[in-house]
Structure formats: C-alpha cells, structure tokens
Structure 1
Amino acid sequence: MSSFIESEPKQKRSLFRSVPFQIAVAAGVSFTAPGMWDALGGLGAGGAAEPYAVSAANAILYALFAVFCVAAGAINNRIGLKWGLALGAIGYPLYGAGLYTNNKTATTWFMIFGSVCCGISAGFFWSAEAAVIIGYPSPKDRGFYLAVWQTAKAAGPIVGGAINLGLNANRSTAGSVGSATYIVFIVIMCLGLPIALCLSPAHRVWRKDGTKVVAYKQATWAAEFQAVAKLAVSKRIILLVPAFFISYFYNPFISTWLTSYFTVRSRAFSSFFTNFAGIFSSFIIGTFLDRQSIHIKTRAKAAFSAIVIILVGCWIWAIVLQQRFYSETKPTFDWFKGGFGSAYAMVFFMTFAGQAFQQFLYWLVGQYATDLSSLSHHTGILRGLEALGQTVAWALQSEANVNHFVTIGLNFGILLIAIIPTWIVLSALEHSHEVVVTEDIVVPNGSKDDEAATETASLPSDQQTPALQK
C-alpha cells in the first residue's frame, strides 16, 4: 500500500473548529429547517383539513429529493459541505410558505412550487448534514453524536409542536390548523441559512483523539459522479436497498392516519409529544452502538434485531386498529378520550423504532466509509433511496379514500424482505474502515474508488497507523 505524507504545523485548537461546535451548527440547521418541516408533518398533512393535495405535493418533493440527494453526494464533495448545507437550508421556508398559502387561500400551485424547491434543496441538505454528523466525529463517538443530532432534529418538532398546541388547543374538532402557526414556522425556517454558513471545512476540524477528518476530491466532476455510480451498484449497497427504502416509508402513513382519525388538538399534541420517542430511542441505540467493549458485529445485530421486533409489533397493532376502524363508525379521537391511548400508542412506538432504524443505518454506512468524501457518497445514496421510498408512500396517500391496509401491507412486507440482506451485511462487519490520520500529517487530494478503499483499509481503526492511507 503506497502512502504520501507531508508535515504541517499543528493548528491552534479553536473551539469554533472543534467537533462539538460543528455538530452544534449542523444540529442548529436541522432544528430550524427539517425540524420545523417535521413539526408541520406531525400535525398530519401539514396541518391541512384534507390530506390529499398535501400528500401529492410531498410525493413530488420526495421524487426530486431522491434524485438530487444522490447527485448531491458528489456535488457537495466538490463545493464543500458548508455550501451544500447552506443550499439545503434555502428550500424549507418556501415549503412552509406554500403550506401557508394553501391553508389561507387554497393556492395549490404555490404549494407545489414550494415542494419542488424544498425537494431540490433537501437533497443537498441531507447529503451534507449526514456527512458532517457521521464524518466529523471519531468512529467511536458517532453513536453519541447521531443521538445529539436526532435530539436537535426532534427539538424542532417539539418546539413547533408546543407552538401548535398553544395556538390550537381549543380546537376539538377535525379540520385545518390556524394560519398563525405557519408564520411562526416560516420565520424559524429562515434562520437555517445563516447558521449553515458557520460550518468549518473538514481540513480545519480537530478531534479530541488527535485524528484528522480525511477528505478526498476526485480529479474531475465526471470522476466524482462515476465514483457515486460505482458505489451505488456495489454488492453491499444493493443488499441494503430494501432497508434504505423502507426505513422512512411509515411516515406518510402516520401523517394521513393522524389526519383521518384525530382532532386538530390531538394532532398538535402528537406533533409535540411524539418526538420524545425519537429522542429516547436515539440515545438508547447510540449509547449501545458506541460500546467498544462489545464486538461491533454483535452490537449491530442486537440493535437491528430489537428494531425489527418493535416494528413488527407496531404493524401488527396497526392491522388490529385499522380493522376496528373500518368495521365500525369512523372514529375522530380527541386527546385522552375514549380510544385515544391505544390509537396514539401505535404512532409513538412506530416513531420510536423508526428513528432508531434511521440512526442505525447512518451508523452502519459510517462504519464502511473510509473518509469524508466516501461518506458523502454513501449518505447521498442512503438518503436518496429513503426519499424514493417516501415518494412511493406519499403517492399512495395522495388518493382520496385510500385503503390503509395497502400501506400497512407494503410497510410490513418490505420490512420482512429487508431482514435477510441486511443481516448479510451485518455479518461481514468486523470494524470501522475509516483511514486514520493524525493531526501531524495531511493527505493530498487524489482520486480513489470508494468500494476499493473500503476493502483496502482493512485494519480496525484503533490498530491503523498514521501512514495507513490510500
């Protein structure tokens, strides 16, 4: 294995170049942009009285998201993660404005326009942010920082849900939320862009363990896209396609289900309280995945098994509830009144397991990525396939009188299909493949192949020497 190193003076350890500060920046953008987006989604159909137009707009959003997220894995590597994150923050306020006009004047075209802008923008955002959250910390700290990120992401809907709850607590009927709710969200969403510009470039970030964040840039734009394409058809990624596709497939079903069967204030309560489920599960799974005393393969298999068991239980419970709802008069659940607890528990635990599943997949691709650019490619593909799944799921919810059993069946079936190929990938996981470089040396730019580098950097990260690089 060839290596090329250069000496450079040690950089002064500024707080603003530290990993915690970079995570705080990414978490701040997550709070203001997708966090507020999730808060609106937590109301069910973006707070609208009818879910179908909003579901159609979201299907368009995720279709564009799926395409641009994969492409953004290469583009962000060329322009830098800071600018990718900044581009990613632009579209969310336009989406919120679109929902506002649809709620106020039933202006569907502007809602579609906002969804298009958000879909393109979100591709850049998620590819960049995921690379920062996973790539900037050391491998042994990733579970913790993923949990911090998920908490910040959930804090957006919690704050937004509190706003929803305060503005809509007296609305004990079904229908749309008040227009003032959107104004508050749009203002908060606009803060994402200036926060994103505070992110430091990877080569200036320092880790407490003395290692550097390694980033490569392909020689040309064409080579960058070729590297993404080659990774996308690699055996490992193909095996993980069902898991990537299904990991967020449940979200549109939950949104439409809340709109169909819960009052406005019950939906506001859900948009506030349900996010604590994601926080709980994020820290539980993050703490477990960082336990270096347990073999990495054992950690991965145990975490995945627990997630699957909870999800299977939730979908069985959803079948029972849906059969009851179809066989009786259509219910409209107000908070803490007859039947609310059993119906809402499914939403809570579905979110608990769903957020854990997404965090687990981020952690998993982080173990196979060799450096920040490789990670950007991996996370772009991950989020692109997740978005493709949500495109299909939102399209299913865009039809009036949608049969919820179809969505439940698809979620349940694809989840079962994903188990065996994901297990094969977990069985091959022996250690983190990240190339370790200390602060005293730097790696020059150069082209490489993600999949080949993963195979070459075969020592556990705590056994690699500073000169182990491609």
Structure 2
Amino acid sequence: MMPRYHSPLAQVLIMSCVCFLCPGMFNALNGLGGAGQLDTHTTNNANTALYATFCIFSIAGGGIVNVFGVRYTTALSCLTYALYTGSYVYHGNTGSDVLTIVAGGVLGIGAGILWTAQGVIMVSYPADAEKGKFISIFWVIFNLGGLIGGILPFAINFYHSGSLTSSVYVLFVILECLGAMAAMFLVPPSVVVRDDGSHATLSKSQSPGHESIEVLKLFTNKWMLLLLPMSFTSNFFYSYQFSQYNGAIFTLRTRAFNNLLYWASQIIGSYALSLLLDFPRWSRRKRGLWSVGFMAVSFNVVWACTFVVQRRYTRGGGSTDYPGGLVDFLDAPRAAGPVALYFFMGMVDSWYQNIAYWIIGALTSDAHITARYVGFYKGIQSLGAAVSWQIGARDIPFMNQLIGNWALLYE
C-alpha cells in the first residue's frame, strides 16, 4: 500500500509547514515595518532587490520546478530565507546594509522557486471540488507562521522600544533551517494519487529547452494576460501597509501586536472564503463572481477607512506627526480604531490571494501546467512588489502612496 504521505492532503500539509517556517517567519518580520528596525530604508531597498529577482525566478520557476522537482528546489530555497534573516544580525552590529540588500536579492531567487512549488502542490493536487478547502488549509497553517512568529518579537520586546534584538533574528534563522529539513519529505507530483485514484499530473517532465519555450508562451496566453492586473497588484499594498501604516504610527510592541492580528485575520478570512468558494449548491462561475464581488466591496471599505486615518499624519517612526505621537495598544481609546483597521487589512488580503489561486486552479489541474501558471502569477506579483517597495524607499508622500494603491485595485 502506498505510504500515507503520498496523498494530496499530506503533501499540502508538509508544504504548509515549510511555508509556516520560512515565508511565515519572513512575513512576521516584514509585517513589523522595517523588519523590526527603526530605519525602514534598508528593508525597503532589500525588498526591492528581493522582488526584482523574485519576479525573474518566479516566471522561470515553473520550468525549474518541472525539471528538478519540488523536493530539493524547495529545501534549497528555504535556506535563502535563513540567509536573509541572519543578515539583520550583521546589520545590527555593523550598521552596514550591503549584506542585507544582497541577501534580499538571493532570497528573491529562492522565494520565486519555493512559491512556484507551493502553488503546484496546493492548486493541482486536490480534486476540483476540494480546491477551496485545500487553499484554505494551506493559508491557515502558513499564516500561523506569521501569527506565532509575531508572538516572539512581541514577547521578547514588550519592554524594549528600539529595533529587534539579535536573539529574535537568530531564533528565526533556526526555524527557517527547520523548514529546509521539512521540505525533504515532499514527493514528486507523479507519485501523488488522489482519493479517487487519479494522479496529480498527466504530463511528463520536459527538457529545460522545452520548459523555456512553454514559459515564454505564457506571455501570449489569454488567461494569463487577463490575470495580469490582479497579479501585479496582489502584493503591491504590502509596502504601504507594513511600513507607511504599521511601521509609521505605532510603537514597536504595538507593531508586533498588530502583526498577530494581521495574520490571525488571514486565517479567519481564508476559512470563511473557502465556504463560499466550495459552496456545493452553486456553479463554479456563480461562486467565483460572488467571491470577487464581495472582495471588491470589502477592499474599498478598508481603503476608505485607511484614507481617513492617513489624513492625520504625513511622516512616521520616532518623528511621526500623528496626533499624540506613536500609538500604543495599551492606550485603548487611541489604538482601537487604527488597530482594528489593520486587522481588516489582513482579512481582505487573504481573500485577494485565495481568489487568485482559486482562479488558477480553475484553469487547470495538471501539476506541470500549474507550475508555469503559478510562476507567471508570482512573477508579475513580484514585479509589482518591487515597484512598491522602491516607492516606499524614495520618501514619496504617504498619501500619494495610499491613493496609488487604491487606484491600482480598480484595474
């Protein structure tokens, strides 16, 4: 009998744990604004380098994963997360940002490949009627990484008002190395069998040359072109939310507290949306239209509320001009509204990401084709993120950034 870990559910759970330990920890740091540093410029520049290489290696990632498989490519990719996190220890002790920016570029290579492998497993392995559920399972476990990762800096730095201590970064490096070890339990798509006896992939692995041609064809694929606006904007708002909102008007411990709420809201939002995406009484088209409509209304409400808050300040950090200075979560009357808004930012983000993956899953169930589609999606997503983080690094007025983010979501 085939070992249990060859089932789609087991493989999704393993990849969820990998992302819990690697991208989850990265999100926990990034969500603090400046990766826990008082000066956000280093992180903004590092993220620009990260998403620039992320863009290239996501688009190429489908071919890389199809040729070399998901196990070793994912394990090696996990180590790039550890390198990036560890670079902040060097930055904290020397003040030099060179290693962090270079490590950001290296992480972009690893992240592009890892997220392509993740998309293959999450989207192509389950049967059509279970795609929403499997996406939700992954998103819940993955965001537990951000949630639990957020608890660590919150607890360790509860009475500390500066940048994160080196011990926090070292602990994150250890966890990310464990993610690389977990990746070694992944198996090739060809041996994954669903409960109904069908296989996760119907096509065979091709040569690097063939994969390169197939990847280039994606730029003429009508479905990928239609997905371009959603791909470009799906991570664009992170720079503003993490640095110009959370990193600008809250104390360090409140930024960590907000981090907990942001990733917790992703878990809640993802589960709630899965009930709609897999609702058995509706057709796939009806489920998709209602989900997109609900998400669009929610996004506009959140950005309208953010606009109201943004009108109250023009600069962030220790020199913020937010009325009354930096907000601390223990000052409930001042903190309640801005903190609650950050919670809902996380929730609508989870809906945006989940719907994008669900759409890709509706286009194909073949693992090799999915690898190319997900790689294309993540590549264009990363291009948008690279632009966004560089905008943040260039001191463009916060209000202009907000309006730009809000306008892009109408595309």
Give the TM-score band, short-chain normalised.
over 0.9
- Counterpart CA distance in 1 for 2:73 and 2:16 is 15
Which residue of 26, 33, 44 maps to 2:22? 33
Give the corresponding residue for 2:409.
415
Query: Contact (CA 8 Å) 1:97, 1:114: kept in 2 or not?
Result: no
In structure 2, the partner of 1:278 is 266
User: 1:81 — aligned with what?
Assistant: 70
- Is the 1:63–1:391 Cα contact (8 Å) retained in structure 2? yes
Pair 1:379–1:336, CA change in 2 (3 A): same
Q: Distance in 2 between matches of 1:50 and 1:198?
A: 39
> Aligned-pair distance for 1:266?
0.2
Q: CA deviation at 1:217?
A: 3.6
* Residues 190-339 of structure 1 aligned to structure 2 (within 5 Å): 190-217=177-204, 219-256=206-243, 257-326=245-314, 329-330=321-322, 331-337=325-331, 338-339=333-334
Once superposed, what is the RMSD of the aligned Cα atoms?
1.6
In the alignment, is the contact (CA less than 8 A) between 1:98 and 1:115 conserved in 2? no
Tell me the distance in 1 between the aligned counterparts of 2:206 and 2:26: 37
TM-score by length of 1: 0.83
* 1:63-462 → structure 2 map (5 Å cutoff): 63-171=52-160, 173=161, 175-217=162-204, 219-256=206-243, 257-326=245-314, 329-330=321-322, 331-337=325-331, 338-400=333-395, 402-417=396-411
Distance 1:413 1:192, change over 3 A: same
- Residue 411 of structure 1 and its aligned partner are, at CA, apart by 1.3
2:76, 2:213 → 1: CA distance?
23
For the residue of structure 1 that corresponds to 2:226, the secondary structure is helix
Q: How far is 1:264 from its partner?
A: 0.6
* Alpha-carbon contact 1:17-1:206 (below 8 Å) kept: yes
Tell me how far apart the structure 2 counterparts of residues 83 and 140 of structure 1 sit (CA, whole Å): 30
Checking the alignment, whether the CA contact within 8 Å between 1:78 and 1:217 is kept in structure 2 is no
- 1:289–1:299 contact (8 Å) kept in structure 2: yes
SS at match of 2:373: helix
Identity across the alignment (%) = 26
TM-score (norm. length: structure 2): 0.95
Query: CA offsets per residue over residues 135-156 of structure 1, 9 Å max, x none?
Result: 1111211111111111111111
CA contact (8 A) 2:85 2:172 kept: yes
**1:370 Cα offset (Å):** 4.5
Write the letter of the residue equivalent to 2:309. L
> Structure 2 stretches of 5 or more lacking a match?
none
Q: Is the 8 A contact 1:98 1:113 kept in 2?
A: no
Kept in 2, the 8 Å contact 1:131–1:379? The answer is: yes
TM-aligned CA distance change 1:218 to 1:232, over 3 Å: farther
> Structure 1: any 5+ residue segments left out of the alignment?
1-11, 418-470
Which structure dedicates a bigger proportion of its chain to helix? 2
User: Can you list the C-alpha shifts for 1:200-244, whole angstroms capped at 9, x where unaligned?
Assistant: 111211211222112424643222111121123222211211111
**Alpha-carbon spacing, 1:215–1:82, altered in 2? closer, same or farther (3 Å):** farther
Tell me how far apart the structure 1 counterparts of residues 112 and 61 of structure 2 sit (CA, whole Å): 6
**Stretch moving more, 339-348 or 118-127:** 339-348
Contact 2:42 2:101 in 1 (8 A): no
Q: Matches of 2:362 and 2:299 in 1, distance apart?
A: 24
Q: Is the 8 A contact 1:63 1:119 kept in 2?
A: yes
Counterpart contact for 2:314–2:399, Cα < 8 Å: no
